[in-house]
Amino acid sequence: MIWKKLKLWFHMLGSAPYFYGFSRRVAPWLWAGFAITTLYGIYLALYVVPPDYQQGDSARILYIHVPSAWQAMFIYGVMAILAVIALIWRIRLTEIMAMSCAPIGAALTLVCLATGSLWGKPMWGTWWEWDARLTSMLILLFIYIGIMGLYAAFDDKRKGARIACVLVLAGAVNIPIIHFSVEWWNTLHQGQTIRLIGESSMDPSMLPPLLWMVVATKLFFGAALLDRARNELIDQDRNKKWVSERILEAA
Amino acid sequence: MKPAHGRPIAALFRRDMKLAFRRLGESLLPLFFLFTVIVLIPLGVGPGPNLLARMAPGMVWVAALLASLLALEHLFRPDLEDGTLEQWFVGNDSVYGRVMARLLSHWLITGLPVIVFSPLAAEMLNLPDHALGTLILTLLIGTPALSLLGGLAAALTLSTRGASVLLSILIFPLVVPLVIFATGAVSMTADNLDPGAYIGLLGAFTILALTLAPLGIAAALRMNLE
């Protein structure tokens, strides 16, 4: 019974007007959750956790850096799954959702790179180091930008989305290979690597704010995805009847 | 009578090669481009033989990548414009076979000349003599993958505006492992180490590209026609 209802709901979600209403109702809650978890996480990170014994207060940037890095990779996974669904079942809404993932993922990759760079200047003495992780994040950013660029280069948005989904899958096959190749490249050329704090060697007191921030980035992704997909949807359907009806209804 | 499968594919290959040979000067322009890159870099970084020897594997590979990019924009576009591409999907013969034939001719025109002239480039860049064999081997294994991934990027960008810029942006992240494995192998040989692991990985990457890229290319071509 529940299963049937869930299935029906999933099918209804594929319809543009229904998704429009659904995302309008759900996104504000996600934004609110994001605001609360972020504020609480930042509060813990700045006021409760003691400064790192070696890095002092600059270690606190980790609470933004690490969750955004994880989320940037997580988003690629979500985008790849959506791309598979979009290519196999040709659901228009999944195409739009997959394409809406790319700018969010690119933004979080950029946040990760920027915070890492800010942290690297006082800690490593340089804004940029050809470290394996930094380099693979940079390549991930290029892949995201490539996907966005390809999608934007088509006048026919559905065609663009489907072709960009093929690129998403090519990237999904390639990203693990890129990751390991870059890791081997770096270790062979430089010998010593400067490592970020490993999870196992992290003090337990640092964990709660990190977890709150991880939850916050997940909520941010959900909220931003729903908003972006909704905007893309009404942009594509701007000449359709349901859009004018909904907009008039809201006004 | 048995349908003559493969005959149109062979005809496509013969046509492509014939066209390339009729315009031999034009076909070899990417090779000249490779040499201009290889000349420009020592002019930029200075002619120190040790520095050049360290950079040689990377420079030859990056130049080979840039050279293969040049011909990519026209890999499928003329066929799209004159409607031939649609016929690819109408006929009985596999699109996969046609894609492979097209990529093979692309490789023969852009990849093979690079391999043939790579000893010259290596000599100009002062690569140690004992590393030359590895350089040629990596080019032999790796340039087909370059054509395959390039073909994928070309198929994805086929009906876009500003395809050439987009194409280079798309292909760069895809070929990162290729460049790392190939130059790693050559550098290790130059340092008198065993490059076997890197060559193995390079081969694995090419085989993976050979398995998946033609499927992606065929799918992307079909979508471009929709």
Helix/strand/coil (H/E/C) assignment for every residue in B30-49: HHHHHHHHHHHHHHHHCCCH
A130 lies within 8 A of chain B by CB = no
Pick from A76, A92, A174, A183 the residue to mutate for testing the B interface (most B CBs within 10 Å): A174
Cβ–Cβ of B170/A163 closer than 8 Å? no
Q: Looking at CA atoms only, how far is residue A79 from chain B in angstroms?
A: 17
pLDDT at A189: 45
Amino acid, single-letter form, for residue B117: F
Cβ–Cβ of B166/A177 closer than 8 Å? no
Q: Is the dihedral of CA B32, B35, B37, B40 positive or negative?
A: negative
Give the residue on A whose Cα is nearest the Cα of B221: A163
Q: How confident is the model at residue A33 (pLDDT cuts 50, 70, 90)?
A: very high
B94: region left, alpha or beta (phi > 0 left; psi from -120 to 50 alpha): beta
pLDDT at A193: 39
Structure confidence by residue, pLDDT tens digits, A58-73:
778 888 998 999 999 9
Q: How confident is the model at residue A201 (pLDDT cuts 50, 70, 90)?
A: low
pLDDT at B3: 52
Around B74, how many Cα atoms within 13 Å sit in the side-chain half-sphere?
12
Q: Which of B173, B208, B212 sits opposite A139 (nearest CB)?
A: B173
Structure confidence by residue, pLDDT tens digits, B70-80:
888 889 998 99
Judged against a pLDDT cut of 90, whether residue A220 lies above it is answered with yes
Q: Which of B75, B129, B134 is nearest to B105 (CA)?
A: B75
Amino acid, single-letter form, for residue B171: I
A183 lies within 8 A of chain B by CB = no
Averaged pLDDT score across all residues of chain B: 89
Q: Which range has the worst mean pLDDT, A31-40, B31-40, B89-98, B130-139?
A: B89-98
Q: Which of A11, A165, A148 is nearest to A86 (CA)?
A: A165
pTM of the full structure: 0.90
Find where tokens 């359907």 sit: A237
Structure confidence by residue, pLDDT tens digits, A140-199:
999 999 999 999 999 899 999 999 999 999 999 998 888 888 887 775 444 433 444 444
In whole angstroms, give the CA distance from residue A178 to residue A136: 7
In whole angstroms, give the CA distance from residue A199 to residue A40: 22
pLDDT at A72: 94
In whole angstroms, give the CA distance from residue A18 to residue B95: 39
Judged against a pLDDT cut of 90, whether residue A223 lies above it is answered with yes
Structure confidence by residue, pLDDT tens digits, B29-66:
888 888 898 999 889 888 888 888 888 999 999 988 98
Q: How confident is the model at residue A251 (pLDDT cuts 50, 70, 90)?
A: low
